[in-house]
Amino acid sequence: MNKIRLNVLGISYSQTQSGAYALVLSEENGQRRVPIIVGGFEAQAIAIQLEGLKPPRPLTHDLFVNFATAFKITLIEVNIYKLEEGVFFSKLICDNGQTRISIDARTSDSIALALRFKCPIFTTEDIIAKAGIVIDFENDVHGHKAEGDEAKPEIVQPENDELKELDIDELKDLLSEAISKENYERASIIRDEINRRAK
């Protein structure tokens, strides 16, 4: 299996799902991004680690790390190995010095643990091809808005049901706009609609 390494790019509040967040992973040697919808608790666990904050008492993921460390168990890597109906499946690859085992886990929990163990996150080309969003840096390599962007009128984003009424070119235009605005959660919904039609 050809593994592709991912890095955690960031996390933002979901504009379409109340209480949910969009976790964005980036391909290490490429321009593709993979948005994953996560719950509030998982988003908090990831954000706390990304920002280097130390809660006064250990959170659940910190407790897991402390428990594993006490018994000399190391998290070697996280593998996001399957994408089915919009749900990502992951495995924790653990080692106790004698045995290496694979443990099924939710992707949000897996990433929260990977950040704490400072271990790599991998996925497959197939998953990147299905869920990845390509960022076009041709016009602006730093990802900042080009001059004059502020003057452009904002296009109202259609609701999910309205996406079904748009043709493929209109969907691609919306996808490009969502990416340029770094609304990765919205972009993932539009991408899923485009992929659904491609089947």
What are the residue boundaries of the structural domains of the chain, listed by start?
3-131, 139-198
Q: Give the pLDDT confidence score for residue 137 in this predicted structure.
A: 43
**Which one, of 102, 119, 100, 103, lies nearest residue 111 by Cα?**
119
Has residue 141 got a pLDDT over 60?
A: no
More confident residue, 140 or 77: 77
**Residue 151 confidence (pLDDT) above 50:** no
d(CA 50, CA 111): 11
For 81-135, the pLDDT digits (tens) are 999 988 999 999 999 999 999 999 999 999 999 999 999 999 999 999 999 888 6
| pLDDT above 70: percentage of residues in the chain | 79
Give residue 173's pLDDT band: very low, low, confident or very high (50, 70, 90). confident
Sign of the C-alpha dihedral computed for residues 63, 70, 122 and 55 taken in this order: positive
3-131 carries CATH number 3.40.50.11440? no
Contact between 81 and 91 under an 8 Å Cβ cutoff? The reply is yes
pLDDT band at 33 (very low <50, low <70, confident <90, very high): very high
* Per-residue pLDDT tens over the stretch 64-94: 999 999 999 999 999 999 999 889 999 999 9
Q: Other C-beta atoms within 10 Å of 146: how many?
A: 9
| pLDDT band at 143; cut points 50, 70, 90 | very low
Residue 72 has a pLDDT of 96
Contact 6, 121 (CB under 8 A): yes
Mean pLDDT of 14-26: 80
Q: How confident is the model at residue 149 (pLDDT cuts 50, 70, 90)?
A: very low
